[in-house]
Structures are given as structure tokens and as C-alpha cells.
Amino acid sequence: MTGNQHMRNGTTLPDGTKIEDLVRKQTQEVMLRVYDDQDLHDLEMQKVFARSWLLLGHESEIPNPGDFVTRNMGSDPVIVARTTDGAIHVSLNVCTHRGMRVALPAAGNTRMFRCVYHGWTFRLDGQFTGAPVASEQMHGNILEASQLGLKQARVTLYAGFVFASWNIDGPSLDEFLGDMKFYLDTIFARSDRGIEVCGPPQRFIVDANWKIASEQFACDGYHVLSLHQSTRELGLRGRPETLDPRTLAGLYAVEVADNGHSLRCVNAAQYYERAAAPVDDPDPMVQLSILPPVGFTPEMVPQLPKHLSLGQLQLLAKSAPSIGSIFPNSALICIYRPKLGGFLTPMMCIHTFVPLGRGRFEFINWFLAEREAPPEMKAEMVRAGILFMGTTGMVESDDAETWPHIQANAAGAMSRQQTIKYQALAGENKPSDWPGGGAVYAGFSKDDTQWRWWNRWTDFMTDAV
């Protein structure tokens, strides 16, 4: 069998290495070379990114007809555009004539897209409309004009977020999210007017493989103990007077996982040290009125039962989802951050890690807020996001410092043969009163959810899904 045939069957790389040899399920190890292998990267673009639902942005970025942004679905450039009827289309940003990008700006507003190379034009929904010197019919007469439009991705909106997939006949977005949608709804689909983005996203390049960031956000809480120690020393995370991990917000929590997605649900009691004392009331709305969900004002709290079930309200009141990932390459943060002086500041953002090759990815970060939140709250949430999670944020600066070092090690002749370990597993131990589904792990943040992330990646890479 030739190397190309090995690649086509999706289970073996040209050098004879099987995908199953890279992710060793018996010993729960992953070969470090997975971060620096061109053949593996090329296969990922076909197996993972061409078949998953990918987060591209939010509809509030393109509120008007003719608005568009340009993004990437894996290695493929796309246009996310709103048409005159209000619909959102995702088109491959590749001219069907000679392969030039049709839309060059990062964002804009237009009536149609015109390729600068030979002038072919396309509607906002990607349909071909014509070529210069129409009388000469430079698009030929072999294909109909209807066959010359830009390739269309499948699009679904969830809570205003634009998800797209090239897997036209594959699972729906709801099926792809699985049990995690129960939890995501408590963050993104809980208010009358919903979520919006607070301005254009931050975008920066990291010299590392996209998987390094993605698997970290699959609920790796353990790194917080050492890598983000400075935030604790400043009193911004837990109590600074001791290194006892039991006092660290988030290290002891309930983590949930399904279909490669995961979330850490943190006990709300940690926030009450810096807010009003909780009450022992079986009605979750009583507790939510004391400490509203992140980004909510007390006046907005009565909206919650219109959108969420009793189980979801109980989750928000006792153990709200705070940090996690959406497979394959997105992450979310929805937390209160203590400020110096003991106050609580809400912060919401969502990331994507877009591969630009085997050793580089683009980090895209959106700051989020409830549409009807007061302007001063939105401004404070953005400030908190910039301080902690933005391009120069205290947390993301720490993360972005380590990821390139891991990447460099993955290229070493000896170190690429080393394995990364996921052997500290807690095992499923769902609390008896837990309201949601999925695999549930209560206690110290261990390797369970990250290991499930790698198993989902393996399923895609070996055509098991």
C-alpha cells in the first residue's frame, strides 16, 4: 500500500504509524509528535475540521444586510455574510474561476463580492452573477451559471453564534453538542434578548499547534495551581495567604463532558465569600436573586424561568458552568472575578483556535455581554476580560508563553517520541442530585475530560464517527 493510500484510509500515516499508536488508550498516553506532524495536520483538516461544526462568530457582528466578516474553517477561508432577507450564509472564499480570494477585508459591507483578479461577481449568498465583457461569455458554456457559485457550508445559529460545517448530511448541531447543550443554554440562551459581542474580536498569532490550546481548555484546572499563581498572589483568585489547593476557585468542582465538549461547574459558595451570604432555600430563584448569573442584573433574573428548566436553574444557582470547550477548537469563559477590595466583576468571552499550519494558530477572542445589560456593566465586563483573558490578559499571557515551548519540544528528534500523560483519572462520580447529563466528574480537577477530548479526536481521525 502506498503512502497516499495509507492517508486515504484515515488510520495510518505515510511512515506506517497508526492513529491508535499516537493515542494509546491502554496506558492513557499521547505521543508528543501529534503537535508537529505535517501529515497528521493535513489529515486533521479533512477528518476533523471538514466534518465538525465550527464556531465562526456571532450574528451581532453582521447586523445589517450586506455585512460580512472573513474567517477560516480549518485551513479553508470563508465569508460569513448577511443577505438582504436577513439570512446568514457561509461561502468558501475561493473564486470558482482561478482560485483567488473573493473577499479580502476582515469585515465590511457590500452589495456583492467581486474578485479582483478577473472581475467575476457573486451575490451575498455566493451565487455567481456574471463576468466582465458579458458578450464574450468568459465563464464558457460547459457549466450553467448556477454551477459556478461559491461553495456553501451548512449553517446553524445557536444563541446567535454562527456555526458552520462542510458535513452537509452529517449530524445536526444539536446532535453534535449532545448533552452539553443543557449546560451551554444556562450561559448563552437564558435571557429575553440574548447575548451580543462587544466589538470586533481580538486576534493574534501563537506559534503552537491548535490542539495544545484546545485540550487545555477541555477543563485542565490543574495548571492553574502553578502557571497562574500570580493572580492568586494578587488576591484575584482564591485567598492569597496559603497555597492549599482546596482554597483555589475551580480546582474542586464538577466537570462534565460529552462528544469531546466539556465544562467545569464551580460551586457558587466560593463567590459568597465576597458577596451576600447564601440562603438555604429549595427555590433556586431565591439564591439567583442574591447573586445573579454572570452578566445579569437583579432586574433581569425574573427572565430565567422563561428560558430554562428547573434543573438548569438549580445548576445556575449551585454550580454554574464557568470554563470549558466546544470540540474541536473553541473555548468559553463565564465567571466572576474578584477584584482587589473584595468586589465581584462578571466576565464572559469565547475563543477559537484556528490552525494556520501544524505549528501556528490564530487565537480569536470575543468579549460577550447580555444585550440588555446596562452600558456600564458591559464596559466593566470588557475591562475585566482584557485584564484576564485578552491579548495582553494576565491569564492568556501565561498560557501563550507555555504553548510555543511545548510546540518546540514536539519537533525534537528525541522529545517527539515522549508521551504526554492522562493517567490521573477520577472516574465518573455524578452527585445524586446532579440535574444534567453527560459524563460527570466531581472533585479535584483531574485528567478525565481532557482524555475524553483526545478520544473524540481519535474517533474523528479513524472515521469512528
Cross-sheet strand order for the sheet of 23-24: 23-24, 29-31, 419-421
Which stretch of 159-163, 400-404, 420-424 has the lowest confidence by average pLDDT?
Answer: 400-404
Residues 183 and 310 in one domain: yes
pLDDT of residue 3: 41
Q: What pLDDT score was predicted for residue 353?
A: 97
Lowest mean pLDDT among 6-10, 23-27, 59-63: 6-10
Domain closes at, from 130, 145, 171: 171
Strand order in the sheet with 161-165: 54-58, 161-165, 154-158
What does the pLDDT average to over 289-315? Answer: 95
The answer to whether position 450 is within a domain reads: yes
Number of domains in the chain: 2
Read off the pTM: 0.92
Domain boundary among 151, 171, 191: 171
From 110, 138, 171, give the residue that closes a domain.
171
Task: Give the pLDDT confidence score for residue 280 in this predicted structure.
Answer: 67
> What's residue 5's pLDDT?
43
- 132 and 212 in a single domain? The answer is no
14-43, pLDDT tens digit by residue?
A: 999 999 999 999 999 999 999 999 999 999
CATH of the domain at 452: 3.90.380.10
Instruction: Answer yes or no: is 4 within a domain.
Output: no
In this structure, the answer to whether residues 81 and 224 fall within a common structural domain is no
Q: Are 290 and 234 in a shared domain?
A: yes
Same domain? 297 vs 421: yes
Looking at residues 204-218, what average pLDDT do you find? 96
Same domain, 164 and 201: no
pLDDT in tens, 189-210: 999 999 999 999 999 999 999 9
Quick check: is 27 in a domain? no
- Do residue 149 and residue 267 come from a single domain? no
Whether residues 254 and 357 share a domain: the answer is yes
Q: Residues 155, 275: one domain?
A: no
Does residue 399 surpass a pLDDT of 70?
yes
The residue range of the domain holding 405 is: 176-461
pLDDT of residue 1: 36
Grid coordinates of 311 = 434543573
Q: How far is CA 320 from CA 97, 176, 192, 294, 398, in A?
A: 50, 22, 19, 9, 25
Q: Are residues 239 and 372 in the same domain?
A: yes
- Regarding whether 337 and 254 lie in a shared domain, the answer is yes
> For residue 213, is it within any domain?
yes
Q: Is residue 1 part of a domain?
A: no
Is there a domain that residue 41 lies in? no
Is residue 456, in this structure, part of any structural domain at all?
yes
- Beta strands 121-122 and 361-370 are unpaired
Does 49 reside within a domain?
no
Q: How confident is the model at residue 244 (pLDDT cuts 50, 70, 90)?
A: low
Helix (H, G, I), strand (E, B) or coil at 270: helix
Q: Give DSSP secondary structure letters for 406-431.
A: HHHHHTSTTGGGSEEE----------
- Which is higher by pLDDT, 434 or 138? 434
